[in-house]
Structure 1
Amino acid sequence: MREIVSTAEAPSSPLYSQAVKAGDMVYVSGLVGIDVATGALAGATIQEQTRQALANCRAVLRAAGAAWDDIVEVGVLLARPDDFAGMNEEYATWFPGTPPTRYVAKLGVELPGVLVSIRMTAYTRQTV
């Protein structure tokens, strides 16, 4: 069964679901570094936007009943490949131990000011 996950603690759009839960799996849409409290990007640097995008993903995971340790895959899309080192600098603080699998690619669309989009897949063992 497919369940749409939604929270006011992360950016949303009528064009996509923040996440979809299917059985034990949670699929989080690509989220950018928008701070929902202000409605603006969290900052102009890759570190600030990466931090906010990861916080937005965490909020959606929580709404889906998933924990940070439930993440199995992270996809990172960068507007500027030169931001790879700066993104990694912030990313490493969120996954200091045993990180999930990850891929990094170039963001295919240009959105004003947006430097990064991050999506996740998590697995949660459902208890009966």
Structure 2
Amino acid sequence: MSKTIHVENAPQFPLPFSHAIRSGDFVYVSGQVGVDPATNLVVGDSIEAQTRQCLRNIEIILEKAGLTLDHVIKANAFVSRSSDFPGYNKTYAEVFSSPYPARTTAPVDLGAYLVEIDVIAYAPTKRGEA
């Protein structure tokens, strides 16, 4: 059985998607971008600022499900410019702790957004726990 997770203090867009879906022990968080949830405006013009905000938005959604970033087991990231990969990797490593989630990162045209990230979290344990 699946449960929709909608978060009032996460970014709101007039698009047909749920912030997250919980299915059994897994929480699937929809792709988030680097916008301020209060204004829905892009935060900063650097990959570092947008990545940090994007991951903060994911964290807000996970909190609603009773989880943290430490429950994330898989991340899919889409970065607008290949030249931003070093800044993305640096910020990602500052926000996530080791052992890091499994990850895919691909260059994609995202328009005004420099990064979009979706994640899968596993509720029973945090990464690194047996």
TM-score (norm. length: structure 2): 0.89
Q: Which amino acid aligns with 2:88?
A: M
**Which residue is equivalent to 1:115?**
114
1:1-128 equivalent positions in 2, closer than 5 A = 1-13=1-13, 14-107=15-108, 109-111=109-111, 113-125=112-124
Secondary structure at the aligned position of 2:62 is classed as helix
In structure 1, list runs of 5 or more residues that go unmatched: none
* Identity of matched residues, %: 36
What CA distance in whole angstroms lies between the structure 2 residues aligned with 1:80 and 1:8? 31
Partners of 2:60 and 2:43 in 1: how far apart?
A: 15
Unaligned runs of 5+ in 2: 126-130
Amino acid at match of 2:56: A
Identify if the C-alpha distance between structure 1 residues 99 and 110 changes in structure 2 by more than 3 Å, giving closer, same or farther: closer
Give the C-alpha shift of residue 82 in structure 1: 1.1
The question of whether the paired residues in 1 share the 8 Å contact of 2:25 and 2:122 is answered with yes
Question: Do 2:19 and 2:29's aligned partners in 1 also have CA atoms closer than 8 Å?
Answer: yes
SS at match of 2:27: strand
State TM-score, norm by structure 1.
0.90
SS in 2 for 1:40: coil
**2:75–2:103 CA contact under 8 A, matched in 1:** yes
Offset from partner CA, 1:35-62 (integer Å, 9 cap, x none): 0122211111000000000000001111
The 8 Å contact of residues 29 and 58 in structure 2, kept in 1 or not, is answered as yes
Give 1:88's aligned amino acid: N
- Segment of structure 1 superposing worse, 60-69 or 24-33: 60-69
Query: Residues 106-127 of structure 1: CA distance to partner in whole angstroms, max 9, x if unpaired?
Result: 22x433x20000100001129x
Write the distance in 2 (CA, Å) between the matches of 1:42 and 1:24.
32
Separation in 1 of the partners of 2:71 and 2:22? 13
